[in-house]
Amino acid sequence: MPERDEAFDFAVKDTWRIFRIISEFVEGFERLSGLPKGVTIFGSARTSPDDPCYAEAEAMGRAIAKAGYPVITGGGPGIMEAANKGALEAGGESVGLAVELPHELRPNPYLTTTLSFRYFFVRKVMFVKYSRAFVILPGGFGTLDELFEAVTLIQTKKIEPFPVILAGCGDYWDGLLSWLSGRVVGGGNVTAEEMKVLRRAETPEEVLRIVAETQA
């Protein structure tokens, strides 16, 4: 009975997948629980070192590390590499939570702690659990995914609120904020109060001031 055999194989594979998921949670909790809560910096893996946003991310990582917070990123190139580089050169904890992707480069070389995850959702739990703030620099779908997932978790009270900061790089965020305020809030889909979870900061000093305010 081939159909039954296929169903059995599928069930067995799913059962073993559960153990893989559990092992990723266990390793993440064990490796990260010894660190103080950090500041996670998200941004594009495609940003080149000669892009002004790369320098801004490096300065952001350096300032956050000097303030005593671990800097956490997705561990890849671009904005993530820049933030980790700044943190490492400042003598701070530089954490990379990488994900296994078919065409993704290996983790960047500026990490003091590296974890690699197969499952995006496990990795997302680690970002949220071990962060005191999210700093969002320019990026693509992955960056926006992390941004809106954090805002949704806070909006629905699934997690304790923490700052979600749209940072740096000139007017990159202006169009998004204008659309959210005009179309989304204006259409009654989000309240003006709920929008307050999104903060705007131009400099590392402004980011650190927001983080300090929320820890008081």
Question: How does DSSP assign 60-116, residue by residue?
Answer: HHHHHHHTTPPEEE-S-STHHHHHHHHHHHTT--EEEEEE--TTPPPPPS--SEEEE
Enumerate the β-bridge partners of residue 71: 39, 94
| Angle, CA 144 vertex, CA 97 and CA 66 arms, to 5° | 50
Alpha carbons within 13 angstroms on the beta-carbon side of residue 62 total: 12
Which domains are delineated in the chain? Answer: 2-215 (3.40.50.450)
- Over the stretch 22-42, which tens digit does the pLDDT of each residue have? 999 999 999 999 999 999 999
Alpha-carbon torsion, ordered 35, 40, 45, 47, to 10 deg: -120
Name the band, by pLDDT with cuts 50, 70 and 90, for residue 1. very low
Lowest mean pLDDT among 9-23, 48-62, 173-187, 193-207: 9-23
- Rounded CA-CA distance 184/181 in Å is 6
Task: Provide, rounded to the nearest whole percent, the portion of the chain with pLDDT above 70.
Answer: 93
Enumerate the β-bridge partners of residue 166: 136, 200
Name the band, by pLDDT with cuts 50, 70 and 90, for residue 130. very high
- Rounded CA-CA distance 35/92 in Å is 11
